[in-house]
C-alpha cells in the first residue's frame, strides 16, 4: 500500500484544501497528516500570542475532523524551519511515504525550507499547490512578462483572467476505507505564548468560519462600500484572521461572494470587497517576485536614505495609545485589547507613526505583527509600505494624513473614540477630536496627554526628510 503524507502549515481546514484533496484522491492509498510547530521561528517572525491561540483552536479542530475521516494527524514540535526539514525527512522514512503533499507558502524562509525538503527527499514525489491565492503568482503579468507594480492595472488584468474561468472549490475528503479513528484524541499543545481572543468575532472552527463568510456575503457585502471606513460600525467582514491562517481559502471567499452578489465582477454590489481580495492577491504575488520585501527592504530604494528620528518615547506613546491624538489612540488601544484593528485605522495609525513621528515604518510593521490576530507578512508589509510611501503603488510621500481631520471624517461624533478612550467621555460631540481646545475653553483638566507633536510642524519635517533622501 502506498502512503501519502499531507503536510499542513497555514491551511488548517478540510474544505477546499488543494493539497489534502490531492492526497486523498487515490482511495487505495494510506493518508497521513503532519503538523510541525516551530515556536522559535514564530518568535523570530513576531507572531502574536492571539494568533497562536487562534491557530491552537484550529489545529485541535482539524485533528478531530481528520480523525472522523480516518486520517491520523502526526504532531511534532521543533525549534525552527531548519529542524522541521529533518522532521519531515524522518516522518517520511518512518512511514514509508511515497508522495508528500503541501500548499505553497510564498515567504522567502518558507520557500527555502520547502526547497531543502524536496532536495533531501529524492525518492519521494513532492507536490505543491497554489492554495492560498485565487490565481497563482505569475498568472497575472504585464505584456513584458513582468510583475505589475501598480494595483489598478494588476486588478484589471486579474479580473480579465478570472472571467475566463473562476477556480472552483474542492470538496472535503470522504471517509477513508479504513473508517474513522476511534481512539481518544490527545489535545495538541503549542509551546508558545497565547492570549485569549474573542471567538464570536473571530471563529476559529472551520464550520463557524464558513458560516461567518456566508453571512457576510449575504447580509453585508453589498453595504461594504458605504460602511467599511467607519470604525464605529461593524461594516467589515472580520474574515482576515481565517484568511491569514488558512482557516478559509480565498477561493471560498470569491465563490461565496459571487453566489450572493453575482454582479461583483462587473463592478456591482460586492465589488469593493472583491477589491480587498485582489489587494491580497497583489501583495502575495509581489512577494514572490520581489523576495526582498520579506527582508524588511523598501520597494523604492531611495527611501532607505530617510533619516528616521526613532524617538523611543514617541514610539512607546504610539504603541500604548497615548499620543494625544484621539483617533490614533483609540485605534492603538483597540489593537492592544483585541488583536485587531479596523482597516481605515491601520492607515491612520501607520501614517501617524511614519509621517508625524518620523519613525521607521519597520518598527510599526513589527509591532503590528506582534499584536495582530490576522498577522500576515504580505498584507502587513504591503500596508505599511503603502503608508510610508516606500512600496509599490504607495501613497506619494507628500500625502500625509492629518490625524485630527481623519478622526472628524470617519468618527464624526466620536463614538468609536469614546469606546476606547474613556478619559474623553465627557468631551461633547465633535470637540472630542481636539479635546484640549475644548477643555481650556470650559476650564476643565483632562486626564489625557496633550499631543506629543504638532502636526503642521511634523508634516514639514517629514517632507524635508523625504526630499533630502530623494535627492540623495
384 is catalytic: yes
Residue 412 counted as an annotated binding residue? no
Catalytic residue among 89, 275, 336, 343: 343
Residue 210 grid cell: 464558513
Residue 192 counted as an annotated binding residue? no
Residue 243 counted as an annotated binding residue? no
Residue 276 counted as an annotated binding residue? yes
The alpha-carbon radius of gyration of the chain (Å, integer) is: 24
Residue 277 counted as an annotated binding residue? yes
144 is catalytic: no
Residue 236 counted as an annotated binding residue? yes
Q: What is the 3-state secondary structure (H, E, C) of the chain?
A: CCEEEEEECCCCCCCCCHHHHHHHCCCCCEEEEEEEECHHHHHHCCCCHHHHHHHHHHHHHHHHHHHHCCCCEEEEECCCHHHHHHHHHHHHHHCCCCEEEEECCCCHHHHHHHHHHHHHCCCCEEEEECCCCCCCCCCCCCCCCCCCCCHHHHHHHHHHHHHCCCCCCCCCCCCCCCCCCCCCCCCCCCCCCCCCCCCCCCCCCHHHHHHHHHHHHHHCHHHHHHHCCCCCCCCCCCCHHHHHHCCCCHHHHHHHHHHHCCCHHHCCCCHHHHHHHHHHHHHHHHHHHCHHHHHCCCCCHHHHHCCCCCCHHHHHHHHHCCCCCHHHHHHHHHHHHHCCCCHHHHHHHHHHHHHHCCCCHHHHHHHHHHHCCCCCHHHHHHHHHHHHCCCCCCCCCCCCCCHHHHHHHHCCCCHHHHHHCHHHCCCCHHHHHCHHHHHHHHCCCCCCCCCCCCHHHHHHHHHHHHHHHHHC
Beta bridge partners of 126: 100
Cβ neighbours, 10 Å, residue 87? 18
Catalytic residue among 361, 386, 420, 438: 361
Residue 42 counted as an annotated binding residue? no
Residue 178 counted as an annotated binding residue? no
Residue 237 counted as an annotated binding residue? yes
Residue 273 counted as an annotated binding residue? yes
Residue 278 counted as an annotated binding residue? yes
Residue 360 counted as an annotated binding residue? no
Residue 242 counted as an annotated binding residue? no
Residue 351 counted as an annotated binding residue? no
Catalytic residue among 42, 384, 386, 420: 384
158 is catalytic: no
Catalytic residue among 77, 89, 225, 308: 308
| Distance from the Cα of residue 335 to its chain's centroid | 14
Residue 280 counted as an annotated binding residue? yes
Catalytic residue among 7, 42, 158, 279: 279
Contacts of residue 38, defined as CB under 8 A and 6 or more positions apart, other chains included, come to 77, 78, 79, 80, 81, 83, 84
The answer to whether the CB of 348 falls within 8 A of the CB of 451 is: no
Residue 375 counted as an annotated binding residue? yes
Residue 105 grid cell: 507558502
Catalytic residue among 255, 276, 402, 420: 276
308 is catalytic: yes
Tell me the binding residues: 224, 236-240, 273, 276-283, 374-376
Residue ranges of the annotated binding site for FAD are 224, 236-240, 273, 276-283, 374-376
Catalytic positions: 276, 279, 308, 343, 361, 384
Amino acid at each position: 500500500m502506498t502512503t501519502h503524507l499531507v503536510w499542513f502549515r497555514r491551511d488548517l481546514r478540510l474544505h477546499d484544501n488543494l493539497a489534502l484533496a490531492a492526497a486523498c484522491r487515490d482511495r487505495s492509498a494510506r493518508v497521513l497528516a503532519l503538523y510541525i510547530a516551530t515556536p522559535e521561528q514564530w518568535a523570530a517572525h513576531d507572531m502574536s500570542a492571539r494568533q497562536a491561540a487562534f491557530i491552537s483552536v484550529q489545529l485541535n479542530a482539524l485533528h478531530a475532523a481528520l480523525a472522523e475521516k480516518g486520517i491520523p494527524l502526526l504532531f511534532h514540535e521543533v525549534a525552527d524551519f531548519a529542524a522541521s526539514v529533518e522532521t519531515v525527512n524522518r516522518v517520511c522514512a518512518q512511514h514509508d511515504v511515497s508522495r508528500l503533499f503541501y500548499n505553497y507558502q510564498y515567504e522567502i524562509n518558507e520557500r527555502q525550507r520547502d526547497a531543502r525538503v524536496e532536495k533531501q527527499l529524492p525518492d519521494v514525489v513532492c507536490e505543491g499547490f497554489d492554495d492560498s491565492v485565487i490565481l497563482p503568482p505569475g498568472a497575472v503579468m504585464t505584456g513584458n512578462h513582468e510583475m505589475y507594480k501598480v494595483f489598478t492595472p494588476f486588478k484589471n488584468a486579474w479580473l480579465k483572467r478570472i472571467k475566463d474561468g473562476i477556480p472552483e472549490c474542492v470538496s472535503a475528503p470522504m471517509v477513508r476505507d479504513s473508517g474513522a479513528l476511534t481512539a481518544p484524541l490527545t489535545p495538541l499543545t503549542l509551546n508558545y505564548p497565547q492570549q485569549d481572543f474573542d471567538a464570536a468575532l473571530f471563529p476559529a472552527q472551520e464550520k463557524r468560519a464558513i458560516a461567518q463568510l456566508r453571512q457576510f456575503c449575504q447580509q453585508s457585502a453589498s453595504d461594504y462600500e458605504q460602511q467599511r471606513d467607519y470604525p464605529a460600525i461593524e461594516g467589515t467582514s472580520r474574515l482576515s484572521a481565517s484568511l491569514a491562517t488558512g482557516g478559509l481559502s480565498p477561493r471560498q471567499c470569491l465563490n461565496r461572494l459571487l453566489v450572493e452578489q453575482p454582479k461583483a465582477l462587473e463592478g456591482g454590489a460586492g465589488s469593493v470587497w472583491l477589491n480587498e481580495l485582489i489587494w491580497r492577491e497583489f501583495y502575495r504575488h509581489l512577494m514572490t517576485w520581489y523576495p526582498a520585501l520579506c527582508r524588511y527592504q523598501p520597494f523604492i530604494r531611495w527611501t532607505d536614505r530617510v533619516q528616521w528620528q526613532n524617538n523611543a518615547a514617541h514610539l512607546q506613546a504610539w504603541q500604548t495609545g497615548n499620543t494625544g491624538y484621539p483617533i490614533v489612540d483609540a485605534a492603538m488601544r483597540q489593537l492592544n485589547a483585541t488583536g485587531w484593528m479596523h482597516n481605515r485605522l491601520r492607515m491612520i495609525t501607520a501614517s501617524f507613526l511614519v509621517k508625524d513621528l518620523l519613525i521607521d515604518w519597520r518598527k510599526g510593521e513589527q509591532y503590528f505583527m506582534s499584536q495582530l490576530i490576522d498577522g500576515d507578512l504580505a498584507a502587513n508589509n504591503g500596508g505599511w509600505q503603502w503608508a510610508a510611501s516606500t512600496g509599490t503603488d504607495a501613497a506619494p510621500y507628500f500625502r500625509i494624513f492629518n490625524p485630527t481631520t481623519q478622526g472628524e471624517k470617519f468618527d464624526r461624533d466620536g463614538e468609536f473614540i469614546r469606546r476606547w478612550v474613556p478619559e474623553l467621555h465627557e468631551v461633547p460631540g465633535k470637540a472630542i477630536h481636539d479635546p484640549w481646545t475644548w477643555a481650556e475653553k470650559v476650564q476643565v483638566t483632562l486626564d489625557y496627554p496633550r499631543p506629543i507633536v504638532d502636526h503642521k510642524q511634523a508634516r514639514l519635517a517629514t517632507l524635508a526628510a523625504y526630499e533630502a533622501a530623494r535627492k540623495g
